[in-house]
Amino acid sequence: MIDLIRKLAECYGPSGHEEQIRAMILDQIDGLAEEVSVDALGNVIAWKHSSTPEARTIMLSAHMDEIGLIVTHIEEGGFMRFTNLGVLYPNTLYGNRVRFADGTVGVIGMDGNLGASSAPKLDQLYVDVSGGDHSIAVGDAAGLLREVVVRGERIVGKSLDNRVGCAIQIEVMRQVSQPAYNIAFAFTVQEEIGRRGAMTAAHAVDPEIGIAIDLTRTGDIPKAHKMAVEMGKGPAIKIKDGGMLASPEVIALLDAAAQRAGVTVQREILLSGTTDASMIQIARAGVKAGAISVPCRYVHTTSETVDLGDVVGAVEVLGALLGG
């Protein structure tokens, strides 16, 4: 799975500008589903149907967009002011590189003295694309630029949130040949700016059960906020986050699937932040929803870090849930 994660994570696709990552995903799932469609917002929805007439409909969701930035003003000399697409931490951005859709690479700089004691604000940062020809205009978006590095079982890179989730979903599509449910595999857009893709996808699919596949924070680094999730201890079944309470039925389904698969799982309570599941849950007349999460350190930076064993564990749990 490492090669797949690398391809997906290094691909361009900020929120609202998912064309390139969508094309890559469509290529990866070619031949894996009975029906594949792209809706007006840009979500990819791929179906696998059960041979059981009374089978329930389940929707899996992994968002394909990444955090990024969008140009708001261009100054003389090739310096561009920007605002965020999703949650950017200004104290992590100085000196990082970004890539625009046409391949133009810029460097994030900062007004004033680098030695300042306080972290910069977003409006003190700019993107420097000087020294070469470019056609970047106000409204163009960029994603962070960083290669994936593998260190033993650890995978480090930008946009693992949530290209890891996309990789998990693709691998589950490959493995599930006789589904126990009618399964809609949704690769959604614009999660980082409000989970908008999940809202429209769930409305179209109208599932009885919804499960988001995403990353979550950990409590296993020095002086971290106390959280009962650690890297390398298995995927986490979400109980609660900042946007939802998971359905007890979905929690039980995931727990039972983990037991069948022989996968050790953790329980996740995330105090802030949420996933596609929060929108799936309130679609139409309501959906029983939950999430399976891969523990991740350094979320929303260019060095997000996950453990391959946790990723594989999530695939195995979902495979046991959905059928062989």
State the catalytic residues: 191
**Amino acid occupying residue 191:** E
Name the one residue in this structure whose structure tokens are 């290209």: 163
The SS3 of residue 157 is strand
Q: 281: which residues sit within 8 A by CB, 6+ positions away? A: 210, 244, 247, 287, 288, 289
Spatial distance between the Cα atoms of 234 and 292, rounded to a whole number of angstroms: 10
Rg (CA), the chain: 20
Integer Cα distance of 183 and 1 in angstroms: 22
How much of the chain is helix, strand and coil, in % rounded to 5?
A: 25, 30, 45
Token pair of 191 as six digits: 């999660």
Which SS3 state, helix, strand or coil, does residue 169 take?
helix
In this structure, the strands spanning 266-269 and 236-240 are parallel
User: In one letter, which amino acid is 164?
Assistant: V
